[in-house]
């Protein structure tokens, strides 16, 4: 048996998405910037996809800009948002994805901004009182806080963050890569200026995503070239990817409640089985289902010999997962997220992330292998 439990890294392409993309690949090859019939047909597909996404998110199609994925969207929101609005202060957390934290740190190093980190607790929860203090004590800020942590699964109350940012005239960017297609976002109510998506996190194709830019915010392009994306991103559009992205989001919304209940049950089942069969096991991040992304379970195992070989041994046993441990020194290459919440560097940690394709049989198989590996290495 081969078990895939790394869906937070990427997901399998949905067959219906592939069919939709393949149909376009077979019949459409025009450049969407061309004004002749071949170009107009492809342009129609792009705008239809944009409208599909906008309708599901309760926003205007004019606020959806297609990108190569989440990393580009994060970089565009952060760099252009800060520079074009002449902001000199940014707030983030030490739990953010590297696409966010490395971008902000590079801008701090270049002297563009002063960077502040909001406090987090041992479960990865944001200290909202500290966030408000940072907003009060500094001039107009750029705030970047993710909706769900990609390693821990801990959810941030982005509605509350949005309210705080509005009260203090701050720009708010949220990396929502792990939650678009898994939770419903109502952008007619959510007070966010920038929000991002990567198609491959929701059974869509790699190499495509979007950046939502609230109509109240004006920024310049990060990538210059042609007039694509209403002069906001130069480069011929990835038509097949865009069509696949729209189909993936459409499918995700149609099946969201059913899949959320099913995947949450799998996560809870695995947690219970691990507690029963692996003495000393601990869980990182929030375990309350209301405060945790239902697709992610981060597990710390007891100290063991060859702890750094746990993921390798799982792979040999037929199980794909990801993880690591907290950094024990400044030179270690470990998880910056686990280090930030004070996790023990001596305990190996594994992130198991689930999708609609996983089964209880796969969970039983995985837990049995983990029990065996922990006993051997005790």
Write out pLDDT tens, residues 25-57: 999 999 999 999 999 999 999 999 999 999 999
Contacts (Cβ under 8 Å, ≥6 apart) of 135: 91, 141, 143, 164, 165, 167, 168, 170
Q: Could you give the number of structural domains in the chain?
A: 2
**Domain of 366, in residue numbers:** 3-11+255-377
pLDDT of 331 strictly over 50: no
Helix (H) and strand (E) counts in the chain: 12, 13
CB atoms within 10 A of CB 142: 26
Give percent above pLDDT 90 in the chain. Answer: 88
* 218 Rama sector, left if φ>0, alpha if ψ -120 to 50, beta otherwise: beta
Candidate from 241-255, 326-340, 354-368 with smallest mean pLDDT: 326-340
pLDDT reported for residue 326: 56
Question: What is the token pair recorded at 49?
Answer: 């996809």
pLDDT reported for residue 303: 77
Residue 183, helix vs strand vs coil: strand
Shared-domain flag, residues 238 and 319: no
Shared-domain flag, residues 161 and 273: no
Q: State yes or no: is 80 an active-site residue.
A: no
- Cβ proximity of 282 and 300 under 8 Å: yes
Shared-domain flag, residues 199 and 259: no
pLDDT grade for 328, boundaries at 50, 70 and 90:
very low
pLDDT grade for 377, boundaries at 50, 70 and 90:
low
Instruction: Give the torsion through C-alpha atoms of 313, 318, 319, 324, to 10 deg.
Output: 20
pLDDT of 378 strictly over 60: no
Shared-domain flag, residues 297 and 238: no
pLDDT in tens, 13-27: 999 999 999 999 999
Separation between Cα atoms, residue 378 and residue 373, nearest integer Å: 8
| CATH number (domain holding residue 347) | 3.90.1150.10
| 180 closest CA partner among 166, 190, 172 | 190
Shared-domain flag, residues 64 and 120: yes
User: Which of 230, 254, 278 is the last residue before a domain boundary?
Assistant: 254
Residue of 80, 165, 197, 327 marked catalytic:
327
Shared-domain flag, residues 193 and 336: no
User: Which of 197, 221, 254 is the last residue before a domain boundary?
Assistant: 254
Shared-domain flag, residues 180 and 305: no
Residue 257 half-sphere exposure, CB side, CA atoms within 13 Å? 1
Using the 8-state DSSP alphabet, how is residue 33 labeled? T
pLDDT reported for residue 329: 44
Phi then psi for 300, rounded to 5 degrees?
Answer: -105, 130
Separation between Cα atoms, residue 126 and residue 51, nearest integer Å: 34
Separation between Cα atoms, residue 216 and residue 348, nearest integer Å: 45
> Distance of CA 138 to CAs 84, 89, 203, 279, 302, Å?
19, 7, 41, 47, 43
| CATH number (domain holding residue 75) | 3.40.640.10
Shared-domain flag, residues 231 and 286: no
pLDDT in tens, 125-159: 999 999 999 999 888 999 999 999 999 999 999 99
Which residues make beta-bridge pairs with 90? 115, 142
Shared-domain flag, residues 259 and 193: no
Q: Report DSSP letters for 243-284, one per residue.
A: HHHHHHHHHHHHTHHHHHHHHHHHHHHHHHHHHHHSTT-EEE
pLDDT grade for 346, boundaries at 50, 70 and 90:
confident
Q: Greatest CA separation found in the chain?
A: 69
Shared-domain flag, residues 295 and 336: yes
pLDDT in tens, 295-319: 999 999 987 766 578 889 999 999 9
User: Which of 234, 254, 274 is the last residue before a domain boundary?
Assistant: 254
Shared-domain flag, residues 154 and 208: yes
Q: What is the mean predicted confidence (pLDDT) over 72-98?
A: 98
pLDDT of 218 strictly over 60: yes
Shared-domain flag, residues 267 and 244: no
Q: E strands, the chain, where?
A: 3-4, 64-67, 89-92, 114-117, 141-144, 171-174, 194-198, 209-213, 282-284, 296-300, 319-320, 322-324, 349-353
Q: Given the structure tokens 């969201």, which residue do they identify?
A: 256
Q: Taking the alpha carbons of 179, 181, 182, 186 in that order, is the dihedral positive or negative? A: positive
pLDDT in tens, 226-266: 999 999 999 999 999 999 999 999 999 999 999 999 999 99
- Cβ proximity of 181 and 201 under 8 Å: yes
The whole-chain average pLDDT of the chain stands at 94
pLDDT in tens, 147-198: 999 999 999 999 999 999 999 999 999 999 999 999 999 999 999 999 999 9
Instruction: Give the torsion through C-alpha atoms of 129, 130, 134, 135, to 10 deg.
Output: -20
């Amino acid at each position: 048996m081969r078990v895939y439990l790394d869906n937070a890294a990427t997901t399998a392409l949905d067959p219906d998405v592939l069919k939709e993309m393949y149909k376009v690949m077979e019949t459409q090859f025009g450049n969407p910037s061309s004004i002749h019939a071949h170009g107009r047909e492809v342009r129609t597909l792009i705008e239809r996809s944009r409208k599909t996404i906008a309708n599901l998110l309760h926003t205007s199609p004019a606020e959806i800009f297609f990108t190569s994925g989440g990393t580009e969207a994060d970089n565009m929101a952060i760099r252009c948002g800060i520079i074009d609005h002449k902001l000199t202060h940014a707030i983030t957390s030490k739990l953010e994805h590297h696409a966010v934290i490395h971008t902000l740190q590079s801008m701090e190093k270049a002297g563009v901004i002063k960077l502040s980190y909001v406090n987090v607790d041992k479960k990865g929860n944001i200290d909202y009182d500290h966030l408000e203090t940072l907003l009060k004590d500094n001039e107009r800020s750029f705030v970047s806080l993710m909706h769900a942590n990609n390693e821990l699964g801990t959810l941030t109350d982005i509605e509350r963050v949005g309210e705080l940012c509005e009260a203090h005239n701050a720009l708010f960017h949220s990396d929502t890569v792990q939650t678009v297609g898994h939770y419903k976002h109502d952008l007619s109510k959510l007070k966010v200026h920038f929000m991002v998506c990567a198609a491959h996190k929701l059974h869509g194709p790699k190499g495509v995503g979007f950046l939502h830019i609230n109509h109240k915010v004006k920024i310049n392009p990060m990538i210059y070239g042609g007039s694509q994306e209403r002069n906001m991103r130069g480069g011929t559009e990835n038509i097949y990817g865009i069509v696949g992205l729209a189909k993936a989001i459409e499918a995700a919304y149609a099946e969201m409640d059913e899949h959320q209940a099913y995947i949450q049950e799998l996560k809870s089942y695995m947690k219970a089985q691990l507690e029963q069969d692996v003495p000393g096991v601990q869980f990182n991040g929030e375990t309350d289902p209301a405060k945790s992304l239902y697709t992610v379970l981060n597990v710390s195992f007891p100290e063991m010999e060859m702890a750094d070989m746990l993921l390798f041994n799982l792979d040999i046993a037929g199980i794909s997962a990801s993880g690591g441990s907290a950094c024990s020194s400044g030179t270690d290459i470990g998880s910056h997220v686990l280090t930030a919440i004070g996790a023990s560097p001596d305990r190996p940690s594994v992130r198991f992330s689930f999708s609609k394709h996983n089964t209880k049989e796969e969970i039983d198989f995985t837990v049995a292998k983990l029990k065996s590996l922990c006993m051997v290495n005790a």
